[in-house]
Amino acid sequence: MPFPVIASRRAMIGSLSAGIGSLAATGAAAQAGRLPATPTGRPAPQLERPPQQAEDQRLGWAVAGLGHFAQAYMLPALGRALMSRPAGLISGSAEKLGEVGARYGIGEAHHYGYDMAGLRDDDAVRVVYVITPNSTHAELTVRALEAGKHVMCEKPMAASAADCQRMIDAAKAAGRKLMIAYRAHFEPYNMEARRMAAAGELGKIWFASSDHHRPLDPSKPRDEWRMRKDIAGGGSLVDIGIYSLNGLIWLLGENPVAVSATTHSPPGDERFTEIENTMTAQLEFASGARASISSGYTADKKRIDLWGDKAVAVLDPATAYKDNKLTVSEAREQRQVIAEATSAEQFTSVVDHLSAAIRNNTGVAAPGEMGLRDMRIIEAIYRSADTRRRVELNPDMTIKA
């Protein structure tokens, strides 16, 4: 085994402390005044969790699309967020509006259809969170902006770069904020990996890889539309490969200058008649760094590796909903970093980030322009796979003629 894992308790505590120390300086939980994790790595009791703002101080959010991700993750997160609260519902289902409204105490006066008629006059709602199938993001975002609301939009931002541009233009015209819900930017282990990379603790990063895969299950309603290109906009790349792409660029702090990609859809598998199962792409960077990304709809794995000349950082899992892990390997030692905040806090942090930006009139960490950049690179990846050629990118990530 090239890198012996630290086995002794003393060494383990030392490693854990290092992780706690480094995260304490930057972590969201530190800002929120929480206790550090215990040396054994158990979550600390949240004795000093700051109270939520008074109800009328928490910005009201309306959720558009009451599907799996909205109901299982984002509505609960809005319910426990410090600066945001669920205040409206937008849905095509009267039944869901009734059920979910009752669960969150959101009355009929704040229920809307997708035409959003009347939303403009609803002062309780300041932000609309679009959590619908990908090809609907653009139209719903534009409607919400035209109703005077700020918008958080799920990834991928839209089904095409042209739609992304339309959304950005609408936000500018309305004078409202538009953010893409890249939750991993608020996940403590991803934040720590980025801090380490930016601080030079990994040395010069010459190679990076990221792989995001999950099984596509046609028996689940949420995977039915993912098999349709007109609704999903693409296959595993746009759905989860986007985590590989956006995550690596964010961690490396550099945009690619060229991509070479392949996609594959196994013949005879009905899930993949319109969309790709697997995608692999090589990214080239002006600094000389190279990266390899993949996505797929069969295995179950979400991982990012940063290969520096001083140390290698591995996030595995990298973008799970909970319990992500960061391991740092140097020549003779491997240590696991323990964050004081939990991975689950990414959900509240991402919504509170936008609420804080609205309240303080500051910029957002993942603006529409970032979603557009990613969509342009995705289009270049598909172009490369279709033409079987290396595709060069302009500085704005459009394809070089």
User: Is the Cβ of residue 70 or residue 351 nearer to ligand NDP in the bound state?
Assistant: 70
Asked if the bond preceding 267 is cis, omega within 30° of 0, the reply is no
Contact between 242 and 235 (Cβ < 8 Å): no
Rounded Cα–Cα distance for residues 318 and 192 (Å): 12
Rounded Cα–Cα distance for residues 180 and 350 (Å): 9
Which residues on neighbouring strands pair with residue 119, listed in sequence order? none
Q: One symbol per residue from 156 to 185: x for binding ligand NDP (CB under 6 A), - otherwise; what is it?
A: -------------------------x-x--
Min separation Cβ 69 and ligand NDP, Å = 3
Of 33-41, 92-100, 260-268, 377-385: span binding ligand NDP (CB under 6 A): 92-100
Alpha helices in 161-268 (DSSP H): 161-174, 188-198, 221-224, 229-232, 236, 242-252
Both tokens of 82, joined, read 């410090």
Q: Which of 9, 45, 68, 217 binds ligand NDP (CB under 6 A)?
A: 68
Q: Which of 3, 206, 207, 225 binds ligand NDP (CB under 6 A)?
A: 225
End-to-end CA separation in angstroms for the chain: 48
Of 68-76, 302-310, 322-330, 367-375: span binding ligand NDP (CB under 6 A): 68-76
- Residue 215 binds ligand NDP, judged by CB under 6 A: no
Could you identify the residue written with the tokens 């910005």? Answer: 59
Both tokens of 145, joined, read 């902006």
- Residue 76 binds ligand NDP, judged by CB under 6 A: no
User: Is the Cβ of residue 72 or residue 198 nearer to ligand NDP in the bound state?
Assistant: 72
- Residue 141 binds ligand NDP, judged by CB under 6 A: no
Strand-pair category, 312-315 with 326-329: antiparallel
- Residue 136 binds ligand NDP, judged by CB under 6 A: yes
User: For residue 104, how many other CB atoms are within 10 A of its CB?
Assistant: 18
Q: Which of 84, 132, 236, 278 binds ligand NDP (CB under 6 A)?
A: 132
Could you identify the residue written with the tokens 């991402």? Answer: 350
User: Is the Cβ of residue 96 or residue 383 nearer to ligand NDP in the bound state?
Assistant: 96
Q: Which of 15, 84, 134, 327 binds ligand NDP (CB under 6 A)?
A: 134
Site for ligand NDP in 233-252 (CB under 6 A): 239
User: For residue 207, how many other CB atoms are within 10 A of its CB?
Assistant: 14
The values of phi and psi at residue 45, to 5°, are -65, 140
Min separation Cβ 140 and ligand NDP, Å = 8
Q: Which of 222, 301, 390, 400 binds ligand NDP (CB under 6 A)?
A: 222
**Would residue 155 show up in a list of annotated catalytic residues for this protein?**
yes
Min separation Cβ 175 and ligand NDP, Å = 25
Asked if the bond preceding 2 is cis, omega within 30° of 0, the reply is no
User: Is the Cβ of residue 96 or residue 229 nearer to ligand NDP in the bound state?
Assistant: 96
Min separation Cβ 64 and ligand NDP, Å = 8
The beta-strand segments (E) located in 73-204 are 84-90, 111-112, 127-130, 150-153, 178-180
- Residue 98 binds ligand NDP, judged by CB under 6 A: no
User: For residue 396, how many other CB atoms are within 10 A of its CB?
Assistant: 10
Rounded Cα–Cα distance for residues 31 and 24 (Å): 9
Residue type, 94: A
Min separation Cβ 154 and ligand NDP, Å = 4
User: For residue 291, how many other CB atoms are within 10 A of its CB?
Assistant: 28
User: Is the Cβ of residue 5 or residue 162 nearer to ligand NDP in the bound state?
Assistant: 162
Active-site residue identified among 155, 177, 301, 325: 155
With CB atoms as reference, the residue minimizing the distance to ligand NDP is 67
Q: Which of 175, 221, 268, 288 binds ligand NDP (CB under 6 A)?
A: 221
Min separation Cβ 208 and ligand NDP, Å = 21
Rounded Cα–Cα distance for residues 273 and 267 (Å): 8
Could you identify the residue written with the tokens 């090809």? Answer: 135
Rounded Cα–Cα distance for residues 385 and 195 (Å): 33
Min separation Cβ 238 and ligand NDP, Å = 8
- Residues forming contacts to ligand NDP in the complex (CB under 6 A) are 65-70, 91-93, 96, 131-134, 136, 154-155, 181, 183, 221-222, 225, 231, 239
Active site members: 155
